[in-house]
Structure 1
Amino acid sequence: MARKIVRTVPGKEALLKTYTIAYVATGLVFLAIDAIWLTLAAQRLYRPLMGEMLLESFRLVPALLFYLIYIAGIVVFTIAPAMATERWTTATAYGAFLGFFAYSTYDLTNQATLRNWPVAVTIADLCWGTFLTALAATIGFLITRIFAPST
């Protein structure tokens, strides 16, 4: 009698649940930590160095779009590879790289094209983006591993 080989392949529903958990967890972590940073840094770093370049209050729609898109990027480019390797260090390393690349794109473009873009803001942003993305990716990965359906 022939034995039937059964392979466990994550179903679409389990995969969707996993990505949803990763997105929500990472988003909550990223937003909470970034809100603290922006609250502290806006008055101490950005306002004194950038003055007239800053609005009195941020524009909600572009900010919301940034967070929605960037968090999806964290999930796709850091948490998904970490789930494949089953290592939190993958999430941390890929998160640091993604944060550095993304924040470099923004800050160095501003450095190259804006008349009075402060170098101190570029340095602070690069450090912050690298750290924040690595931290959010790592915590998002760990939460996803705990709550995602097992495959």
Structure 2
Amino acid sequence: MQFLSAYAAALIVFGILDAVWLSIMGRLLYRPTLGSLMLDNLRWAPALVFYFLFPVGVVHFAVLPAFAAGSLQTALVNGGFLGLLAYATYDLTNYATLRVWTLTLTLVDVVYGAAATAIVAGGAYGALRVLASAGWI
């Protein structure tokens, strides 16, 4: 029950956070930088696979260890580190291989990924603490 509760919380926090980020930065950074490389319409299947899969990793590697330790700091640090690794893998590969991928885009996206994943892990950890305090899990 802990995993499912943390997963639901992570999914909600990540969905909201990324929707806000992409709605703002899509037009300010991604579209101006990537231009014609971007699709006019999103490919929903791979996007949904990512959005449903990434929180599994956040819960497994950050939230549950933090909950076991009773430490918000563990959730934030582990989440931030996971986000750094995941987003750096994507961004550095693109920076190494795509002509239009800029250093600015790489740095902004990696920092966002680390911060967002830390926030998601912290939010899911907080939700678990609330549910546990109420005796629901």
Band of TM-score, shorter chain: over 0.9
Q: Does 1:55 align with 2:39?
A: yes
What runs of 5+ residues in structure 1 fail to find an aligned partner?
Answer: 1-16
Distance 1:130 1:110, change over 3 A: same
Q: 1:70 aligns with which of 50, 54, 62?
A: 54
Matched residue, 1:19: 3
Matches within 5 A, 1:92-111: 92-111=76-95
TM-score w.r.t. length of structure 1: 0.86
**Which protein has the bigger helix share?**
2
Instruction: Give TM-score, length-normalised by structure 2.
Output: 0.94
State the Cα RMSD in Å: 1.2
> Would you say how many aligned residue pairs link Structure 1 and Structure 2?
135
Structure number with greater Rg is 1
Maintained 8 Å contact 2:75/2:121:
yes
State the Cα distance separating 1:69 from its structure 2 match: 1.2
Query: For 1:1-16, what aligned pairs fall within 5 Å after superposition?
Result: none
- Residue-by-residue CA offset, 1:20-57 (whole Å, 9 max, x unaligned): 10000011001001100000000111111110111112
1:90-143 deviations in Å (ceiling 9; x for gaps): 000001100000000000011112222111110110110011000010011010
- The reply to whether residue 121 of structure 1 matches residue 105 of structure 2 is yes
State the AA in 1 paired with 2:23. T
Moved over 6 A (4+): none
How many percent identity over aligned positions? 40
Task: Report what 2:126 is aligned to.
Answer: 142
Do the aligned partners of 2:33 and 2:100 also contact (CA within 8 Å) in 1? no
Structure 2 unaligned blocks of 5 or more: none
* Paired AA for residue 66 in structure 2: A
SS of match in other structure, 1:102:
helix
The residue identity in structure 2 corresponding to 1:59 is: R
